[in-house]
Amino acid sequence: MATKTSTPSSQSPKLSRLRPQYIPNHIPDSSYVCILDTTLRDGEQSPGATMTAKEKLDIARQLVKLGVHILQPGFPSASNSDFMAVKMIAQEVGNAVGDDGYVPVIAGFCRCVEKDISTAWEAVKYAKRPRLCTSIATSPIHMEHKLRKSKDQVIQIARDMVEFARSLGCNDIQFGAEDATRFVLFWRELQEELRRLYLAFEQQDSIFSSFWFRPSLYTLSVLLDCLELSKIVLSLSDSLSDKSS
């Protein structure tokens, strides 16, 4: 008795979607979900998850195969090994063209400190699409006790360091306002101050567990109200728990 071999239906075309054109600090299609993966930096901070440069490179290759748009492979100024890992990934993965013609963005994390920024740039500049992810604390408790700076001083530092990053030749800069959900009105003021610099602006909360911290609906509504989502990237993260918003 002959068996009938099933074949894919010609009426079921392969599903695909072209990625938006790469434009630094801007996503032209506001409905498109762009993935920034921090497994190799933030994820490595989990107990027992320390990785060698080779292990990071191997994982970076796989993340790109999965379709990740932006890789944040490390904190270059944290150690020489992290610097070398980020540089290695920038040189190889950051110049690899995918089957769809896409080249991933390689982002180096750095605090709003000139040494951090210049070190990060030295690591990522070998990529075809390098990015610098600057960050500074913005909640009252952090400004007072960690930075020992006033609100106006923090705003000035943020502006100066973004402009310093641009002076190095980087045209793709992401700014992170650490712990900003504690003080939404200041975050709005800071966002307005930096708007003219055309940054990919992210709002971070990578310190406090969602067990006792969770953005309220009011907080989110204020944030969304003060952002033009077609021009600005909003990211709410909680790296100490298994949930992200």
pLDDT tens for 8-34 read: 444 334 434 578 888 887 777 777 888
**What distance in Å separates the CA atoms of residue 191 and residue 41, rounded to the nearest whole number?**
25
Q: What is the pLDDT of residues 28-53, one digit of tens each?
A: 777 788 889 999 998 888 888 889 99
- Which of 160, 91, 158, 97 is CA-nearest to residue 122? 91
Read off the pLDDT of each residue in 219-230 and give the average, rounded to a whole number: 48
Residue 12 placed within a domain: no
**How large a percentage of the chain has pLDDT more than 70?**
67
Kindly state whether residue 192 falls inside one of the protein's structural domains.
Answer: yes
Is there a domain that residue 118 lies in? yes
The span from the CA of 75 to the CA of 65, in Å, is: 23
Query: Is 21 part of any domain?
Result: no
Residue 85 CB coordination number (10 Å): 26
Report the side by side order of strands in the sheet with 36-37: 36-37, 70-74, 105-111, 130-137, 173-178, 200-204
Q: Name the 3-class secondary structure at 85.
A: helix
Angle made by CA atoms 16, 22, 24, in degrees to the nearest 5: 150
pTM: 0.76
Nearest to 235 by CA among 34, 20, 60: 34
The answer to whether residue 90 sits within a structural domain is: yes
What pLDDT was estimated at residue 47?
84
In whole numbers, what is the pLDDT of the chain averaged over residues?
Answer: 77
pLDDT for the residue numbered 4: 46
37 strand-pairing partners: 71
Q: Which two tokens stand for residue 209?
A: 């567990």
104 in any annotated domain: yes
The domain total for the chain is: 1
Q: Higher confidence at residue 17 or residue 182?
A: 182
- Note whether residue 160 is domain-resident: yes
Average pLDDT over residues 223-236: 48
Question: Which of 13-27, 83-97, 127-141 is the least confident region?
Answer: 13-27
176 within a domain of the structure (yes/no):
yes
Contact 140, 154 (CB under 8 A): no
Range of the domain at 51: 36-226
CA gap 211, 45 in Å, rounded: 19
DSSP state string for 139-207: SHHHIIIII---HHHHHHHHHHHHHHHHHTT---EEEEEETGGG-HHHHHHHHHHHHTT--EEEEE--S
Answer yes or no: are the C-beta atoms of 45 and 239 closer than 8 Å: yes
CATH code of 42's domain? 3.20.20.70
